[in-house]
Structure 1
Amino acid sequence: MVDEVKFREKMIQDGYGDVTVRHFVPNHCEPTHTHEFGASVLVLNGKITITMEDRTVTCRAGDVFALDANVPHAEQVGDEGVRFLACRK
């Protein structure tokens, strides 16, 4: 489990931009899409499942997940919603 302060420090060290707090409402679904940037998130509470071509990852509070730029993925939020720290590279 990673805490918020350590996550912010590590992201700055790794060259990521500003860390922002984001949230999605319960059961929110993002169909398959890509981003022109790499992203890293720390889940603060709730649950989110990210599905890529080769794997599916479910993240809960304390989990960190990173995704390279231009990787197709879909996102499914759990029943309680999700709140997370996010940064771009």
Structure 2
Amino acid sequence: MTSPDFDTFSSTAKASGFDEVLERRWEANTWLDTHTHPFDVQALVTEGEFWLTVDGQTRHLRPGDAFHLARNVAHAERYGPQGATYWVARKN
């Protein structure tokens, strides 16, 4: 299965009720301690790698991997040696 392009990702997310879609790029070896967001998240990794920790469980995410987070869910992020890029849809 091939990954969608950004326009397809964006239109699909908006059709699902997400109101904001953007590309996030993170620098190499960035760490974000436990935090929350006031919006739901649906995302697709497009470059690099990172580790997402929720409820003590860590997922190693690479290009083609998707993840979802409900609003106000505590999580931490650690980005790999090349950083990471992902497309993210937010439902505010």
Q: TM-score, normalised by structure 2?
A: 0.87
> Any stretches of 5+ residues in structure 1 without a counterpart?
none
CA–CA distance in structure 2, aligned partners of residues 40 and 21 of structure 1: 12
> Given the alignment, which residue of 3, 23, 39 partners 2:25?
23
1:53/1:73 contact within 8 Å kept: yes
Q: RMSD value over aligned CA atoms?
A: 1.4
Mapping of 1:3-82 within 5 angstroms? 3-4=4-5, 5-82=7-84
- 1:47: Cα distance to partner? 0.4
> Any stretches of 5+ residues in structure 2 without a counterpart?
none
CA–CA distance in structure 1, aligned partners of residues 61 and 12 of structure 2: 19
1:43/1:83 contact within 8 Å kept: yes
- 1:8: Cα distance to partner? 2.0
Secondary structure in structure 1 of the residue aligned to 2:13:
helix
Secondary structure in structure 2 of the residue aligned to 1:9:
helix
CA deviations over 1:16-50 (Å, ceiling 9, x no partner):
11211111100100000011111111111000110
1:2/1:63 contact within 8 Å kept: no
CA–CA distance in structure 2, aligned partners of residues 57 and 3 of structure 1: 22
